[in-house]
Amino acid sequence: MEDKTALVTGAASGIGAAVARALGERGASVAAVDRDAAALQRTTAKLAVEGIRVVPIEADVRSANEAQTAVASAEDQLGPLDYLVNAAGVLRLAPAVQLTDEQWEESMAVNAAGVFTMSRAVAQRMVPRAQGSIVTVASNAAGTARADMAAYSASKAAAVMFTKCMGLELAAHGIRCNIVAPGSTDTPMLRSMWDEATGAQATLDGDPDAYRVGIPLRRLGSPEDVADAALFLLSSEAAHITMHTLTVDGGATLGV
């Protein structure tokens, strides 16, 4: 990935930060996008100290105008984009009948509409160049029902199908669009779901009362596990792969 350029959303922490680091370690220049300006500055400062060429760009993916501005800024500073990774996401937990309008709307705005705004902005520039690779970080919950996760699961399912439809349309231009579907990954988002008394062990064991199996591999995923999968799909090693979902969940969805 030497001399390639990439834009990563949700890059201030978690999976997005791991993807940004992994790209930079392999020689890519990275535009790191996030709406949390303070966290983004801390993350990109660490990456820069490690010798990674990274530029922070504050933007809210929910805004089509900010998405367009972020992409223009990335290309102005780094050159034409070769890669996009949609890693920005939010988790709003509640039973479906108790979800508020705000929880539903924010889930859809960030997890689904954010993929649309950023992918459209980048793809519009990739099409004339007839090259590029896009990866959306979704979730295994996009294809497996989860209690209290209706908004999250629905928004991620929308992101998956948008990415696949876009991949079909852009295939003629040599642009590949794929999905990484993580399971339980050791990030601040996952930890926000834990009960202090059980924590990681409950995630590993599963919850039969909630119709949720555990993790057969008996360990949580790491952000780096997901980043490695994303980089594979971005790379020339996946040159004949598009519209594919690569699940990275330690077997939690039993291969379905």
Phi and psi dihedrals of 66, rounded to 5?
Answer: -65, -35
**Using N-to-C axis directions, what is the helix angle for 37-49 and 14-25, rounded to 10°?**
30
> Catalytic residue at 83?
no
Closest C-alpha among 25, 80, 75 to residue 53: 25
The Cα–Cα gap between 56 and 7 comes to: 10
Residue 89's Cα: distance from chain center in Å? 7
The Cα–Cα gap between 133 and 10 comes to: 18
Q: Of the listed 83, 116, 152, 162, which one is catalytic?
A: 152
User: Which residues are identified as catalytic?
Assistant: 152
